[in-house]
């Protein structure tokens, strides 16, 4: 496809992102005080699947896709915890993932936040008591924010990230 064809296709398709819902309240909600000031405006997110069924991952992909487009609110997925401000944990924490999760959070520079995304990360969900499960995210690392749902909808994921960026 030539560049001219590509430009025509982009013009024809137009914007497909959902209209932006209202932003976080101004002044910020009381619990926003827990968000470090340095993360306001832009937050780099390292996602860790600690033992998910992959349902939450599909919704995370949708949240960062062209329809929900979390990047327009200043949240961006990054590949290394060294580049991250936020660790986004999905799934229960399995025995094998407890140490990698702990090390990932430790490798994320301060100030940082940890978000437990989905019922499994927040409370173990339907996997509570299973033989391979160490616990919920907060049993292994300090958690700042929980997003309920099995799985949470992309809009809920975007809303949680907007509470961090304040945009």
Q: Which of 161, 154, 159 is nearest to 62 (CA)?
A: 154
Q: Strands across the sheet with 75-77, in order?
A: 75-77, 43-49, 86-90, 113-117, 145-147
Q: Are 67 and 18 in contact (CB under 8 A)?
A: yes
Q: Which of 74, 91, 154, 166 binds ligand SF4 (CB under 6 A)?
A: 91
Q: Which of 74, 81, 125, 154 binds ligand SF4 (CB under 6 A)?
A: 125
Residues 29-68, one symbol each (x = binds ligand SF4 by CB under 6 A, - = not), give: -----------------------xx-xx------------
By the rule CB under 6 A, 146 interacts with ligand SF4: no
By the rule CB under 6 A, 151 interacts with ligand SF4: yes
Q: Which of 74, 81, 118, 154 binds ligand SF4 (CB under 6 A)?
A: 118
Residues in the chain: 167
**Token couple for 76:** 């961006």
- Count of residues interacting with ligand SF4 (CB under 6 A): 13
Burial readout 20-52 (b: 16 or more C-beta within 10 A, e: otherwise): eeeebeeeeeeeeeebeeebeeebbbbbbbbbb
By the rule CB under 6 A, 135 interacts with ligand SF4: no
Beta carbon of residue 122, minimum distance to ligand SF4 (angstroms, whole number) = 8
**Token couple for 54:** 């992959």
Beta carbon of residue 129, minimum distance to ligand SF4 (angstroms, whole number) = 14
Q: Closest residue to ligand SF4, Cβ-based?
A: 55
Residue numbers of the site for ligand SF4 (CB under 6 A)? 52-53, 55-56, 90-91, 118-120, 125-126, 150-151
């Amino acid at each position: 496809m030539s560049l001219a064809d590509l430009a025509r296709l982009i013009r024809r398709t137009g914007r497909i992102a959902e209209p932006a819902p209202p932003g976080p309240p101004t002044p910020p909600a009381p619990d926003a005080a827990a968000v470090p000031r340095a993360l306001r405006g832009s937050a780099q997110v390292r996602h860790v699947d600690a033992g998910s069924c992959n349902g939450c991952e599909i919704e995370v992909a949708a949240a960062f896709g062209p329809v929900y487009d979390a990047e327009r609110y200043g949240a961006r997925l990054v590949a290394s915890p060294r580049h991250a401000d936020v660790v986004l944990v999905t799934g229960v924490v399995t025995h094998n993932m407890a140490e990698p999760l702990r090390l990932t959070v430790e490798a994320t520079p301060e100030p940082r936040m940890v978000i437990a995304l989905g019922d499994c990360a927040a409370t173990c969900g339907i996997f509570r008591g299973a033989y391979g499960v160490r616990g919920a995210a907060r049993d292994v690392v300090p958690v700042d924010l929980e997003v309920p749902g099995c799985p949470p909808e992309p809009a809920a994921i975007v809303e949680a990230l907007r509470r961090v960026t304040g945009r």
